[in-house]
């Protein structure tokens, strides 16, 4: 900690630089968990240094992704639980990166807060670090910024970005897909980090509504289920890519099936999905019932229990499911590709 840096005048204006130093000291133990062989130096400098290992990569291509947690963060405020939203932040970035076959290498976070409470900031970073461990990437830096007068003292926002690498010749190219290829679903852990503006409206979210238990949710409270961290699929997807020819990957985020799946399809092909195949999680049934939300809107807003989809040749489908299950994921056949520019067709 820097004992020679302080400013009473700045503190009187709402920014306590010493609180920032304390937060950094508290978070170092969490950051240490994420160190990989590419990390050149610890946190604290002006830039995060990372030595890229391209030993087995002929034409390295860097792939970047950035995102935040969205209004799910309001649930963390109300529950006063701040050690999981960092997992969401990492997940939203690295799950995008792997869609083209890239392996995440490092991550940086940005926390904006009304007032720097070092212990709270350290809890947030502990979640970021856990997400990095799950993704196999290093947390090499970040920023915490106090914004007095712009945000309430207790509020914060969290965002971040990650960089991955893939061999140019191994980038997943959706144009290799054809009619008859099989789409596989990988189960989500819940709502993940999208659609929370609608969720909060449906349940009129406050401390009381979040404390309510539901039989449909196995007796869990609404808050517990909503705050469940986004699943990180990096290691399972990397294992799958090493085992079969993966033709495309979609991360099912905001916009649900109808927006995200077409992003991984070439012109002239669409995804045909049987509604009965979709293993919808109970939280989505509860959202639809409570908010009287049409099913079309549900599939166009939420992941509905499917965190990612992958497309493989029909001959590889069973093996792909086995590989994903061996990697700890719940996976199943969701549908197939058909000719036509319909995007996504969900049948009975």
Distances from the Cα of 118 to the Cα of 24, 73, 113, 155, angstroms: 8, 18, 11, 13
Helix (H, G, I), strand (E, B) or coil at 92: helix
Instruction: Give the integer Cα–Cα distance in Å for 52 and 36.
Output: 11
Residue 41 has what pLDDT? 79
Residue of 288, 287, 306, 292 lying closest to 344 (CA atoms): 306
Domain ranges of the chain: 8-170, 174-347
The pLDDT of residue 24: 82
CA-based nearest residue to 192, from 65, 270, 284? 284
pTM score of the predicted model: 0.94
pLDDT exceeds 60 at position 1 = no
Percent of the chain whose pLDDT exceeds 70: 95
Residue 256 has pLDDT above 90, yes or no: yes
**CA gap 36, 130 in Å, rounded:** 14
The pLDDT tens digits for 176-197 are 999 999 999 999 999 999 999 9
Tens digits of residue pLDDT in 152-174? 999 999 999 999 999 999 999 99
The pLDDT of residue 224 is 97
Per-residue confidence (pLDDT) for residue 18, from 0 to 100:
77
pLDDT tens figures, 76-126: 999 999 999 999 999 999 999 999 999 999 999 999 999 999 999 999 999
pLDDT of residue 348: 85
Pairing between strand 246-251 and 138-146? Answer: unpaired
Higher per-residue confidence, 16 vs 271: 271
For residue 343, what is the DSSP state? S
The CATH topology of domain 8-170 is 60s Ribosomal Protein L30; Chain: A; (3.30.1330)
pLDDT tens digits for range 278-333? 999 999 999 999 999 999 999 999 999 999 999 999 999 999 999 999 999 999 99
Which pLDDT band, with edges at 50, 70 and 90, does 12 fall under? low
Q: Would you say 185 and 332 are in contact if contact means Cβ atoms under 8 Å apart?
A: yes
d(CA 203, CA 200) in angstroms, rounded, equals 5
Sheet with strand 103-113: strands edge to edge: 60-68, 156-167, 103-113, 138-146
d(CA 125, CA 35): 14
CATH code at 174-347: 3.90.650.10
What pLDDT was estimated at residue 15?
A: 64
pLDDT 10s digits, 42-70: 776 788 899 999 999 999 999 999 999 99
Nearest to 139 by CA among 98, 104, 170, 107: 107
The span from the CA of 51 to the CA of 138, in Å, is 11
- Averaged pLDDT for residues 128-146: 96
CB 286 within 8 A of CB 191: no
């Amino acid at each position: 900690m820097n004992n020679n840096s302080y400013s009473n005048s700045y503190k009187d204006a709402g920014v306590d630089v010493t609180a920032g130093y304390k937060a950094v000291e508290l978070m170092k133990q969490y950051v240490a968990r994420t160190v990989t062989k590419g990390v050149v130096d610890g946190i604290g400098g002006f830039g995060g240094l990372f030595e890229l290992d391209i030993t087995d990569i002929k034409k390295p291509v860097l792939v970047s992704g950035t995102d935040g947690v969205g209004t799910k963060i309001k649930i963390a405020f109300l529950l006063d639980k701040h050690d999981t939203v960092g997992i969401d932040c990492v997940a939203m970035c690295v799950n995008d990166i792997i869609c083209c076959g890239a392996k995440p290498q490092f991550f940086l976070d940005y926390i904006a807060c009304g007032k720097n409470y070092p212990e709270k900031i350290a809890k947030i970073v502990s979640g970021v670090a856990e997400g990095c461990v799950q993704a196999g990437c290093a947390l090499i830096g970040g920023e915490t910024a106090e914004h007095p007068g712009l945000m309430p003292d207790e509020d914060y926002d969290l965002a971040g970005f990650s960089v991955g690498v893939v061999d140019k010749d191994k980038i997943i190219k959706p144009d290799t897909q054809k009619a008859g290829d099989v789409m596989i679903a990988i189960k989500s852990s819940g709502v993940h980090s999208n659609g929370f503006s609608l969720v909060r409206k449906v349940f009129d979210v406050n401390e009381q509504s979040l404390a309510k238990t539901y039989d449909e949710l196995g007796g869990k409270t609404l808050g517990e289920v909503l705050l469940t961290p986004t699943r990180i699929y990096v290691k399972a997807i990397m294992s799958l890519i090493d085992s079969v020819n993966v033709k495309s990957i979609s991360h099912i985020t905001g916009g649900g099936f109808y927006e995200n799946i077409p992003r991984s399809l070439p012109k002239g092909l669409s995804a045909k999905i049987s509604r009965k195949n979709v293993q919808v999680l109970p939280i989505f049934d509860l959202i639809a019932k409570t908010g009287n939300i049409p099913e079309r809107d549900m599939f166009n807003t939420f992941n509905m229990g499917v965190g990612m989809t992958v497309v493989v040749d029909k001959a590889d489908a069973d093996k792909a499911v086995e590989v994903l299950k061996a990697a700890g994921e719940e996976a199943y056949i969701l549908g197939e590709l058909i000719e036509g520019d319909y995007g996504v067709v969900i049948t009975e």
